[in-house]
Amino acid sequence: MKRYRVAIVETSALIAEGIASILRSSATMEVVGTYAAVQEVEPLLAAGGIDVVVAAVGLCHQLEESSLAGQMPVVGLQSGLADEATLRRFNGVVTLYTAAEDIIRIVSEACQQPAEHNMAESHELSEREKDVLVLVAKGFTNKEIASELNISPHTVMSHRKNIVHKTGIRSVAGLTVYAVLNKLIDSEQL
What is the domain extent for residue 146? 125-189
Instruction: Give tens-digit pLDDT for 49-87.
Output: 889 999 999 888 788 777 766 778 899 999 888 877 788
This prediction's pTM: 0.61
- Tens of pLDDT, residue by residue over 137-185, are 999 999 999 999 999 998 898 889 888 888 878 888 889 988 998 889 9
Are both 168 and 87 inside the same structural domain? no
| Domain boundary pick from 95, 121, 147 | 121
Domain count, the chain: 2
CATH label of the domain that carries residue 80: 3.40.50.2300
Residue 74: strand pairing partners:
53
19's enclosing H/E stretch is helix 13-24
Q: Does residue 117 share a domain with residue 45? A: yes
CATH code of the domain covering residue 164: 1.10.10.10
Do 22 and 81 lie in one domain? The reply is yes
